[in-house]
Amino acid sequence: MNIVIVGAGIGGLTLALMLERVGLAKDLRVYEAARELKPLGVGINMQPHAVQELDYLGLVPALRATSVEAKEFAFFTARGQHVYSEPCGLYAGYGVPHFSVHRGDLQQVLFDAVCERLGENAVVCGHRCAGVEQDADGSDVRFVDPAGLTLPTVRGDIVIAADGIHSAVRKQLYPNEGRPLFHGINMWRGVTRHPPFLTGASVTRIGGLNTTGKIVVYPVRNDVDGAGNQLINWNTEVVTDVASEVDWNGAGRLEDFMPIFEHWRYDWLDVAQLIRDTEFILSFPMVDRDPVDRYAFGRVALMGDAAHPMYPRGGNGGAQAIIDARAISDALLALPPVAALAEYDRIRVPFVSEIVRQNRTAPPDIIIDTVERLTGGARFENIADVIDPAELARMSLAYKQLVRSDLESVGTADAVKGSS
Ligand SMILES: Cc1cc2nc3c(=O)[nH]c(=O)nc-3n(C[C@H](O)[C@H](O)[C@H](O)COP(=O)(O)OP(=O)(O)OC[C@H]3O[C@@H](n4cnc5c(N)ncnc54)[C@H](O)[C@@H]3O)c2cc1C
């Protein structure tokens, strides 16, 4: 089967590896718009429901070498008061780790594996998809080069569009959709060299949107300078009417958000200094799109952000792209091409649509929002006086169950050993 993948991001590269794993990649190419793959972005969390798929691809050792194996989720108020913690990954008994990783490192691990397993020519850069047509036997993909000049059309038995939030294929399939949806939250992000804080592998969420702003902070690389410093990822969310460009590489300005975080200096982390010491500032609006009712259209299907762009909360933007890849590969192994894509659509659309909706209203951050609402942002003596900690654990579990990243869905260390 001749397979064309559009986009060499997290989803497209994972799909190539999945198809190679099941012997369906003999005639496969990934076409990428960028002239070359560069380590772009900042941090991304790979939780066990995604890592189990990367483990299926044998990528855990490579990921371990380049990322931080997270030990806990920890939630704090904007005053730096501890609200709730729970272990994660292997520390919570899962059969696979939770990796906090730089997106560029994750993409590089995937790209290296594609080059090694499918050959250096499997990823073709400098090919921006300009549209796709299909007939009863196959599908033609039109491309332009970085200067906008037309390149030869490529024909495949099927085409999978993994071309991200600005997907050209989605635009063609949903021509009236317009721009990604902005609901009044902007993000400023960066990475800072900094000594380890808390456990040295804590994924922290600080502050609530309804009272202040919030920030997510976690390390993504260990010992970046031989002196034990880590590369710490930070990502703020601020309520504002002013949206940045929807450009993952868009630069941000300190003065546009720093006043909110200037006094966030705790005995366990000086957030203000962490931001001031950053290597660069990126700005990106919190955008998504309303869920659609189809990802598959005959011989053409959408996956990842092209199919279901979502708020980057709860670590599911990347995870669901990876899980899409597994679903497409499993279906293609079992069924003829068109039926397989229809099956992928049937399994994934309702499930992922619910995550898109939930990420707008009730991501894991709801734990802090709830506490900040109950206290009005004031200090408390004891969290148990504010809310029953079991209720906070229940909120955390509810999100994990929805996205199937809970222990029962993914499997414990014993279960993984038992199945191998
Ligand atoms: C440069 C960049 C930086 C990012 N930084 C972060 C981050 O710091 N944190 C985070 O959580 N998420 C980040 N993301 C988004 C994150 O990678 C995705 O939300 C998630 O991993 C889903 O992956 P995806 O493969 O669907 O999309 P992406 O990983 O976005 O990959 C899409 C790929 O398609 C390519 N492409 C786009 N249009 C075309 C076209 N017409 N023809 C061919 N190729 C095309 C893009 O260049 C890209 O390589 C970033 C994405 C990009 C592209």
pLDDT tens, residue by residue, 278-309: 999 999 898 899 999 999 999 999 999 999 99
In a domain, 246, yes or no: yes
Distance 395 CA to ligand 1 centre (A): 30
Supply the pLDDT for residue 299.
98
For residue 137, give the CATH number of its domain: 3.50.50.60
Look at residues 361, 381, 402 and tell me which one is the last residue of a structural domain.
361
Counting the structural domains of the chain, the total is: 2
Band the pLDDT of 198: cuts 50, 70, 90. very high
Task: Find all residues with CB under 8 Å of 162, minimum gap 6, and list them.
Answer: 5, 6, 7, 8, 9, 11, 12, 15, 303, 304, 306, 321
Distance 304 CA to ligand 1 centre (A): 9
Same domain, 7 and 123: yes
Cα 249 to Cα 256: distance, rounded to the nearest angstrom: 17
List of E strands, 263-328: 282-288, 296-297, 300-302
* Of 17, 106, 248, 310, best ligand 1 pocket probe by most atoms within 8 Å of the beta carbon: 248
**Which is more confident, 302 or 364?**
302
Supply the pLDDT for residue 181.
92
Same domain, 122 and 34: yes
What's the length of the chain?
A: 420
Amino acid at 185: I
Q: What is the pLDDT of residues 93-147, one digit of tens each?
A: 999 999 999 999 999 999 999 999 999 999 999 999 999 999 999 999 999 999 9
In a domain, 300, yes or no: yes
* Percentage of residues of the chain with pLDDT beyond 90: 88
Residue 246 clears pLDDT 90, i.e. is over it: no
Supply the pLDDT for residue 306.
98
Residue 417 clears pLDDT 60, i.e. is over it: no
Same domain, 129 and 248: no
Look at residues 245, 269, 288 and tell me which one is the last residue of a structural domain.
288
In a domain, 275, yes or no: yes
Domain that holds residue 244: 181-288
Token pair recorded at residue 347: 């399994």
Q: Are residues 364 and 73 in contact, defined by beta-carbon separation less than 8 angstroms?
A: yes
Q: Which atom of ligand 1 is nearest to the CA of 7?
A: 34
Look at residues 361, 393, 415 and tell me which one is the last residue of a structural domain.
361
Phi, psi of 80 (to 5 degrees): 85, 10
Which residue puts its alpha carbon closest to atom 16 of ligand 1? 318
Instruction: Enumerate long-range contacts of 335-343, CB under 8 Å, 24 or more apart.
Output: 337/1, 337/157, 337/158, 337/299, 338/158, 338/298, 338/299, 341/158, 341/296, 341/298, 341/299, 341/300, 341/301, 342/296
Same domain, 224 and 274: yes
Same domain, 284 and 187: yes
Mean pLDDT of the chain: 94
* Of 45, 54, 163, 165, best ligand 1 pocket probe by most atoms within 8 Å of the beta carbon: 163
Cα 32 to Cα 209: distance, rounded to the nearest angstrom: 36
C-beta atoms surrounding 191 within 10 Å: 24
Distance 164 CA to ligand 1 centre (A): 5
* Three-state secondary structure call for residue 292: coil
Which residue puts its alpha carbon closest to atom 20 of ligand 1? 318
Q: Are residues 303 and 352 in contact, defined by beta-carbon separation less than 8 angstroms?
A: no
Supply the pLDDT for residue 252.
94
Ligand 1, pocket residues at CB < 6 Å: 6-12, 31-34, 40-42, 44, 103, 128-129, 162-164, 166, 168, 248-249, 304-306, 312, 317-318, 321
Same domain, 158 and 31: yes
Which residue puts its alpha carbon closest to atom 51 of ligand 1? 248
Q: Which atom of ligand 1 is nearest to the CA of 168?
A: 41
Band the pLDDT of 415: cuts 50, 70, 90. low
Same domain, 21 and 139: yes
For residue 250, give the CATH number of its domain: 3.30.9.30
Which residue puts its alpha carbon closest to atom 49 of ligand 1? 9
Same domain, 196 and 165: no
Band the pLDDT of 365: cuts 50, 70, 90. confident
Distance 420 CA to ligand 1 centre (A): 33
* Percentage of residues of the chain with pLDDT beyond 70: 98
In a domain, 382, yes or no: no
Supply the pLDDT for residue 208.
87
Supply the pLDDT for residue 315.
87
Supply the pLDDT for residue 419.
44
**Which is more confident, 137 or 417?**
137
Same domain, 20 and 122: yes
Same domain, 153 and 245: no
Supply the pLDDT for residue 416.
53
Distance 317 CA to ligand 1 centre (A): 10
Residues β-bridged to residue 160: 5, 301
Same domain, 166 and 204: no
Q: Which of 285, 201, 196 is nearest to 235 (CA)?
A: 285
Supply the pLDDT for residue 418.
45
- What pTM value is reported for the model? 0.96
Distance 163 CA to ligand 1 centre (A): 7
pLDDT, average across residues 335-347: 97
Same domain, 174 and 187: no
